[in-house]
Structure 1
């Protein structure tokens, strides 16, 4: 009975139960994120403290929820006003209806937009630009989700990305020393992503029976603009909206203010200038309220889940238990083991829990065998493409909500490809000495 109440066992059982229920579609993600941790928290004897744990977890994700709520509305208003219509037309003119070009264009745009280091912005811009193309051609939207997630997660390994900063802080290392040796692996991961995009495109060509010889005979892919859509357009404000969006992105990159504050201010300006009549503002907000509510509820539910997971000590106990089962002979190989383990661990844990809970413990253990802590920090970053599919992250819910696909379907489709890209990054990083195969 004592073993069953062990925090490590309860934590593993809770995560496994949660994943099983949402992957088999027996419960919605929102319900599972709330019900499962509460039940396991009660079993752990944390009943009186559960409320405080949930509130703490929700408060931690509140800025993210605030950011996403206004980000969804801001970019929806920009879409309504027609800011992205010229971009979509340019993309359509460039890629045409060739699935290979469309797939490659998706990966390229996602990589470029991800330079700002914000996953939410990348999701909104890339899906806004490419979803009409995918719908008109008939391509699988899960391809868009996969390529978007891979490119964004790899670009987030750059110094201004959140994971790299966490990994460096966890082992108290210089950020440049952590990221620098990882760059060849990052480049290899991007190459693998583009090769995967090419493969997806070829597969879709066969499925859609597309060929260069008949490409010109098909109707051109056009934007769908009904009367309501055209009525919401603000073509005379295109350059104003472009400048406002450029200023918003620049403010994010430069860190002029907290991201939620920047997004709230930009939304207020965009709404006032584009739709000065209150009735028009209310209509635009109402048109996108469903997406906002779904996303914000999921984020708050994820905050409750992680609040209980961390508050009951299950997260720390799982990390300690995983390390305790390692035999001494395995110690010199902790760097590549950490890289491989980062895939499942970051999928099941938040970045904060992983980098500040697990990585410091691993780094201390690895130091005993002569492994540099910065190598462990790099190894811990390898699993980020898999982490991008974690049900504890907001962007995956945002992407799936905009694409109107189920989260479980996206995970099942993308997980194997994300793991493959992780292995490519690991192989190149090992080959270039960024991570030692074995301690000297």
Structure 2
């Protein structure tokens, strides 16, 4: 690290992010250790000194509600899986898709798209994986395909007004969420269509691979050609945990929880905590059984919580040292004035790497207003800038700084770096398809003036 880089927060921030990504993509460090050690090192290089501790605490504290919601969401939906709530859905999917990998992957994309309309990524991951992972394991399909389709489909449907990115972009630029979403509906449909096309492509590839292996339809466990496969065995709990007589009650409780999430009746962590407590008491009244059920899902909860808190420490130092602001300012300064009228498509392109390396809050509240202000000087409306930034959502879904990827990889038992390597090129293509649709539909202007 040269003296110039140490004196330049933008270069230091870029070096920090690049170092972090190299370490986890090459598996030199686990995600959790890299998220902690890399920012501490670069924070010291930036001269933060004793202030590093406060920055990390602030970053972790900001994510506490998210951690609470995800922890109790994992426990709640884990209990619902144990009780057999999703068994009918799994049976329906099995009857519908059969043993054909193409039908399985397309069914995955369509199921994820429907489930993700509630705007909650954790719920989408839990429900889709609960329904589809037994099918993937039964047929020996690569679980990385499930992670890929989850990322593509849930990110595209996050364009809905109550989705996190749209809500953040609208809040940051003081725009009505509906004014962002309605012109983007053709873009969302194009993104969903591309995801289904990718699902078909993945299914065809798996059909050829499994055919070459002459895999028996009921075979369990990974195949040598499928990288980073899930562990062997039936993922479903034992029969004694099933509560078929409580199916309607569990379904009603889950629907009430979803309605509460959509209507905003209470903060998400509160709703998840309350639903979990009710589900635990209703399905497993015995204190001994309750402890067993919690312990059965404790590993997933601990892994997710630790990873998210580590990501909070990373973003806390990144923002606290001023690296984020410096990188944003450097990016805006690098755009020649002649390109000013093209700020909308430029925003879409630069949002791809920025949203991958930054949290939603850091990008939408820190960088997007700066880009929108710059675009305003050239006559580009803030709505256009916001819509352009939202076309980068598929890449953001692969970011190591968001909770969803750790939840998905934890449930699938695959490595985060492997999921990113497998999915990133398809995410880039999805972003370009969405940008093309946004330009064609007029939601994002190619040039103003």
Offset at residue 174 of structure 1 (A): 2.1
Q: 1:171 aligns with which of 170, 173, 180?
A: 173
2:140, 2:219 within 8 Å by CA — same for their partners in 1?
Answer: no
Offset at residue 170 of structure 1 (A): 1.9
Q: Which residue of 1 aligns with 2:445?
A: 436
Verify: 1:362 aligned to 2:371, yes or no.
yes
Q: Which residue of 1 aligns with 2:89?
A: 87
Matched residues in 1 for 2:438 and 2:122: separation? 28
1:10, 1:40 within 8 Å by CA — same for their partners in 2?
Answer: yes
Distance verdict in 2 for CA 1:220–1:298, change over 3 Å? closer
Please show how residues 292-303 of structure 1 align to structure 2 within 5 Å.
Answer: 292-303=301-312
1:22, 1:28 within 8 Å by CA — same for their partners in 2?
Answer: yes
Verify: 1:384 aligned to 2:413, yes or no.
no
Q: 1:276 aligns with which of 281, 285, 288?
A: 285
The structure 1 segments of at least 4 consecutive aligned residues displaced by more than 2 Å after TM superposition are 1-5, 217-221, 224-228
- Show CA shifts across 1:382-439 (max 9, x none): 1000000000011100000110000000000000001101101100110111111112
1:65, 1:299 within 8 Å by CA — same for their partners in 2?
Answer: yes
Q: Which residue of 2 aligns with 1:118?
A: 120
Q: Which residue of 1 aligns with 2:25?
A: 23
Offset at residue 202 of structure 1 (A): 0.9
Please show how residues 166-315 of structure 1 align to structure 2 within 5 Å.
Answer: 166-209=168-211, 218-219=217-218, 229-315=238-324
Decide which moves more: 14-23 or 224-233: 224-233
Q: 1:136 aligns with which of 131, 135, 138?
A: 138
Distance verdict in 2 for CA 1:218–1:171, change over 3 Å? closer
Distance verdict in 2 for CA 1:402–1:46, change over 3 Å? same
3-state SS in 1 of match to 2:285: coil
CA RMSD of aligned residues (A): 1.9
Distance verdict in 2 for CA 1:218–1:358, change over 3 Å? closer
Matched residues in 2 for 1:431 and 1:294: separation? 43
Matched residues in 2 for 1:100 and 1:134: separation? 12
Offset at residue 2 of structure 1 (A): 4.4
Please show how residues 54-93 of structure 1 align to structure 2 within 5 Å.
Answer: 54-93=56-95
- Show CA shifts across 1:135-160 (max 9, x none): 00011101111111111001011111
Q: 2:151 aligns with which of 145, 149, 159?
A: 149
Q: Which residue of 2 aligns with 1:328?
A: 337
- Show CA shifts across 1:227-247 (max 9, x none): 961111111111111111111
Q: Which residue of 2 aligns with 1:318?
A: 327
Gaps of 5+ in 1: none
Offset at residue 184 of structure 1 (A): 0.8
Matched residues in 2 for 1:347 and 1:279: separation? 43
1:5, 1:43 within 8 Å by CA — same for their partners in 2?
Answer: no
Q: 1:38 aligns with which of 37, 40, 57?
A: 40
Verify: 1:407 aligned to 2:409, yes or no.
no
- Show CA shifts across 1:341-392 (max 9, x none): 1111000001111111111111111111111111001111110000000000
Q: Which residue of 2 aligns with 1:103?
A: 105
Matched residues in 1 for 2:40 and 2:310: separation? 11
Offset at residue 220 of structure 1 (A): 9.8
Matched residues in 1 for 2:305 and 2:115: separation? 23
* TM-score calculated relative to the size of structure 2: 0.94
* TM-score calculated relative to the size of structure 1: 0.96
3-state SS in 2 of match to 1:4: helix
Verify: 1:339 aligned to 2:341, yes or no.
no
Distance verdict in 2 for CA 1:218–1:39, change over 3 Å? closer
Matched residues in 2 for 1:354 and 1:228: separation? 41
1:14, 1:36 within 8 Å by CA — same for their partners in 2?
Answer: yes
1:97, 1:220 within 8 Å by CA — same for their partners in 2?
Answer: no
